[in-house]
Amino acid sequence: MIANELLELYDAKRKKFQKGELIFAEGNEPHYYFQIITGEVKMCNFNDVGREFIQGFFQDGQSFGEPPLFLNRAYPANAMAVTDCEIIIVPKNSFLELLKNNNQVSLTIIEYLAQRLHYKSVMAAEISSQEPEHRLLKLIDYSIKFLKVQKGNDGFPIDLTRQQMADLTGLRVETVIRAIKSLEKKKELKIIKRKVFR
């Protein structure tokens, strides 16, 4: 996304979060731009009975939580550290000043937000009507494209756990495990040392 050196010219600070730590809570007002240096973050909600709904996962170099920052609205979801993380944080006014002074960065942010919106639109349509195997393949293929995963000797490695796949597709973990085994038999996926490859 944005070079850390550029962010640091605009009052950026580096902050560490431990696995499971809340970065911001649903309903909080947005005051900062967040970009991950190392680690993984998830955006999630909890329904009335405490079931978690995953909005998305974010990794090294990605930003999260920007739409409420631009809209001056409360966060619609929680952001939590999935692993120990180091995150660069820029105050809102400084970040907006950075965008005004750097047209190319503004275009990069717009493209990134558009990709995420497209992903949500595609997955919403798939999740509402398709069979588990189809949902998983759509999630996997889009993740490869969106995250620009590099192909190795065994295919494209998928860095999502079975639980994350379930959370992102609205399936139960047991259903994901069965679907992955079925897709392996159909030679759509490979499983090597419990790791999934496309």
Whose CA is closest to 149, among 82, 197, 187, 107?
Answer: 197
pLDDT digits (tens, 9 = 90+) for 81-121: 999 999 999 999 999 999 999 999 999 999 889 888 887 77
Residue 22, phi then psi, degrees to nearest 5: -80, 130
Q: What local confidence, expressed as pLDDT, does residue 150 receive?
A: 84
| Angle of the 162-169 helix axis to the 173-185 helix axis, nearest 10 | 110
Distance between CA atoms of 52 and 46, rounded to whole angstroms? Answer: 4
Across 18-169, the runs of DSSP E, i.e. the strands, are 22-24, 32-38, 41-46, 52-58, 63-64, 78-81, 85-91, 157-158
pTM higher than 0.85: no
pLDDT score of 129 more than 70 = no
